[in-house]
Amino acid sequence: MNQASLHRLLSQKGKDSKELFDLRLATNLTLIQKQFFSLYPEERHEKNFKKLLQLLPKLYLERPEALRNQDLQRLKSGNWYQSEKIVGMQLYVEHFNKDLKGLQEKIPYFKKLGVNFLHLMPITTRPKGESDGGYAVNSYLEVDKKYGSKKDLLELTSALRKNGIYLMLDFVVNHTSNEFSWAKKAIKGDKKYQNYYYTYEDFTVPAEFEKTLPEVFPETSPGNFTYIPEMEKWVMTVFNSYQWDLNYTNPEVFLEMLANLVKLTDMGVDVVRFDALAFLWKKIGTISQNLPEAHNLISLFRMCLQVVAPGSILLAEAIVAPTNIVKYFGEGEKRGNECEVAYNASLMALLWNSIATKKTQLLYKSLMHVPPKPKDCTWINYIRCHDDIGLGYENHLIQELGWNPEMHRKFLLDYYCQRLDWSPAKGMLFMYNPKTGDGRITGSAASLLGLEKAIATKNDDLIKESVNKIIMLHGITLAFEGIPLIYAGDEIGTLNDYSFQNDASKKGDSRWVNRPRQDWETISKLEKEDSPQLAIFRTLQKLIKIRKENTVFADHNNLEIYHTGNDHILSLERTHDAKRLLVICNFDENPQVIDSSWIKKLGYFSNGEPLDLVSGEKIALNSALLEVMPYQMLWLMKS
Ligand code: GLC
């Protein structure tokens, strides 16, 4: 039982909000203390621990009453984030409908599609020019003027709450921009704030770090340190040179960041996306990712936030190896006490592998290989986000298939990045590192899945095929356990946006190719004539509706994967009480057959032919084999 479940038990007793806060603090205190002193040894940091104990009630008292009430409702009602009723969308406010007010006007659009969870990309102040899309933060709480005001944000969050729409915002926990107030003071020579970052007088320590630190943006921001002449010091900048890594070995940094985190949730944020959290702790001689101290720190944030604002939860943005991702749900005594939600980056990357290879063996091997998640945690399932697609597969699993990992990755880059004439994909190569041969892929889902090329060549068959692929991949994320997250525009098959190439502050970063503007013109014409865009929109709208109406889709830790004997097929089952739903997908361009006896054994044909919820048709068997058409997805419901 994790800490949240304990709090739920305690909250049934009719106590008032403040008493429940005290109980939560008492319940979490041992863990908080342990984690705090594991990072900040007691001999030196008792004073800081006392500061933390003073901070928590202060933050609680500052929390708006409406949110405190919501916290208690959520505590009582259970793990709301595991519901089948949640379907998400990710978007850049300025690319969607100008600003926060514009976004609010589009609430009816979300409702029409069935979306009730929004991830807004960073909206706080940032440097002019390059800012990594706002991931270089000048402030954690101040809304950038181009999006509107804090009042607009509060109006939006309250409108979203009224409409039953959850909100996720980023907490860029690993770094600030070089214009953040702390960085500015550090540049001016203030030692206190220089200690908020990893700063060094010469390159001796950085050189030690560099021996093992990988490079995140090798093309545009090689190395992990930047020299700041005004400060006459080097500062650690793992991402871009204008993103300064926060020094969490300093407890002051933790305390300030905790206050920022809580204040962010006080604006009505339901899910906090913990950005780049794998990087939170640095140690010479390591790659400084996924370190045990980082996990203690994240859990410490979690345990404190849970005491103050139990209705808000954390999402782990850990785009790391599959076996490392689940660790962000917490292990050992931290199990279920770190992040409630994590990006299912492994599934995402594996789906792209299956499209390119037309095979599912690596998908199966990897899914079977990942340890089960804690029962109170869940995934965000997505086919792509605002970032690149990394090829984070386990090498030994690729090898077990008889493939050479290096060559295999090269094939995938070639397939998606326009190096193979026959490939339908139109993606771009991102951060290719000639030293290591590593590279990642950018491109909108539709362009990567062939729609751009198919439309350009006016090839109707390819258009159809691409539409089916787009629907199938989204369908898998809708059927998997967790929250499906659609990237805005993908619901109408929006193609690559090449306009970033004409913008000096963006042209070095091809991730902008997959961050297109919302195409309201196409949307306004949707219902008027048949088009690939309409086909995608209508089908997703239908699948979302089906998902919300069927409790099998809720995350009851009820997902089973079945081997079918056909390497082109993915099959998984969701169950809840007597309800069962079997998902079957064909990743090949040819029709495929599978033996149906095991499906019969599962009882799908016991009461006549089962209904395929996707096509709305009953599935008849003319032989012992079940035929699945190219890129077809079946959702068979057991009657
Ligand atoms: C995360 C974001 C990415 C950003 C990075 C640095 O990975 O998703 O867009 O560049 O963090 O903040």
How far, in Å, from the CA of 275 to the mean position of ligand 1? Answer: 6
How far, in Å, from the CA of 152 to the mean position of ligand 1? Answer: 25
Alpha helices in 487-634 (DSSP H): 520-525, 532-549, 597-601
Q: What is the pLDDT of residue 623?
A: 87
pLDDT tens for 355-387 read 999 999 999 999 999 889 999 999 999 999 999
For residue 511, give the ligand 1 atom closest to its CA: 9
pLDDT tens for 250-259 read 999 999 999 9
How far, in Å, from the CA of 61 to the mean position of ligand 1? Answer: 32
Q: What is the pLDDT of residue 501?
A: 97
Q: What is the pLDDT of residue 68?
A: 96
Across the range 35-50, mean pLDDT stands at: 98
Residue 78 banded pLDDT, cuts 50, 70, 90: confident
Q: How far apart are CA 511 and CA 514, in angstroms?
A: 6
Ligand 1 pocket: which of 124, 169, 275 to mutate (most atoms within 8 A of CB): 275
Across the range 99-114, mean pLDDT stands at: 98
Task: Yes or no: say if 430 and 441 are a contact pair by the CB < 8 Å rule.
Answer: yes
Task: Yes or no: say if 174 and 289 are a contact pair by the CB < 8 Å rule.
Answer: no
pLDDT tens for 132-164 read 999 999 999 999 999 999 999 999 999 999 999
Q: What is the pLDDT of residue 434?
A: 83
Q: What is the pLDDT of residue 587?
A: 98
How far, in Å, from the CA of 495 to the mean position of ligand 1? Answer: 22
Which sign does the torsion angle of CA 350, 351, 357, 359 carry?
positive
Q: Which of 84, 275, 340, 490 is catalytic?
A: 275
pLDDT tens for 62-72 read 999 999 999 99
For residue 132, give the ligand 1 atom closest to its CA: 10
For residue 136, give the ligand 1 atom closest to its CA: 12
pLDDT tens for 324-360 read 999 999 999 899 999 999 999 999 999 999 999 999 9
Ligand 1 pocket: which of 387, 430, 442, 513 to mutate (most atoms within 8 A of CB): 387
Q: What is the pLDDT of residue 636?
A: 97
Give me the chain's average pLDDT, please.
96
Task: Yes or no: say if 475 and 486 are a contact pair by the CB < 8 Å rule.
Answer: no
C-alpha distance from residue 211 to each of 284, 308, 543 (Å): 8, 41, 49
Which residue has the CA at smallest separation from atom 3 of ligand 1?
Answer: 387
Which residue has the CA at smallest separation from atom 10 of ligand 1?
Answer: 132
Tokens representing 483 are: 């929250």
How far, in Å, from the CA of 7 to the mean position of ligand 1? Answer: 33
Which residue has the CA at smallest separation from atom 7 of ligand 1?
Answer: 276
Q: What is the pLDDT of residue 423?
A: 98
Which residue has the CA at smallest separation from atom 11 of ligand 1?
Answer: 276
How far, in Å, from the CA of 239 to the mean position of ligand 1? Answer: 8
Q: What is the pLDDT of residue 77?
A: 87
C-alpha distance from residue 270 to each of 115, 120, 170 (Å): 15, 12, 11
Across the range 193-198, mean pLDDT stands at: 98
Q: Which of 317, 338, 465, 490 is catalytic?
A: 317
Q: What is the pLDDT of residue 590?
A: 98
Which residue has the CA at smallest separation from atom 12 of ligand 1?
Answer: 135
401, with CB counted inside 10 A (0-12, 13-18, 19+), is middle
Ligand 1 pocket: which of 121, 135, 175 to mutate (most atoms within 8 A of CB): 135
Which residue has the CA at smallest separation from atom 4 of ligand 1?
Answer: 135
For residue 217, give the ligand 1 atom closest to its CA: 10
Q: What is the pLDDT of residue 517?
A: 97
Is 275 part of the annotated catalytic residue set? Answer: yes
Tokens representing 136 are: 């270089």
Answer with the residue of higher pLDDT: 261 or 371.
261
Task: Yes or no: say if 466 and 451 are a contact pair by the CB < 8 Å rule.
Answer: yes
For residue 385, give the ligand 1 atom closest to its CA: 8
For residue 175, give the ligand 1 atom closest to its CA: 12
pLDDT of 13 over the 80 cut? no
For residue 387, give the ligand 1 atom closest to its CA: 9
pTM of the model: 0.96
H or E element at residue 632: none
Across the range 453-481, mean pLDDT stands at: 98
Range scoring the smallest mean pLDDT among 199-203, 216-220, 562-566: 216-220
How far, in Å, from the CA of 591 to the mean position of ligand 1? Answer: 39
Q: Name the region of 158 (left: φ>0; alpha: ψ -120 to 50; beta: rest).
A: alpha
Give SS3 for 236. strand
How far, in Å, from the CA of 240 to the mean position of ligand 1? Answer: 10
How far, in Å, from the CA of 427 to the mean position of ligand 1? Answer: 20
For residue 135, give the ligand 1 atom closest to its CA: 12
| Cα dihedral 276, 279, 281, 282 in deg (nearest 10) | -150
Give SS3 for 584. strand
Residue 322 banded pLDDT, cuts 50, 70, 90: confident
Ligand 1 pocket: which of 239, 240, 515 to mutate (most atoms within 8 A of CB): 239
How far, in Å, from the CA of 170 to the mean position of ligand 1? Answer: 10
Is 317 part of the annotated catalytic residue set? Answer: yes
pLDDT of 12 over the 80 cut? no
pLDDT tens for 628-639 read 999 999 999 997
pLDDT tens for 386-409 read 999 999 999 999 999 999 999 999
**Pocket residues: Cβ below 6 A from ligand 1:** 132, 135, 172, 239, 275-276, 317, 386-387
Q: What is the pLDDT of residue 15?
A: 86
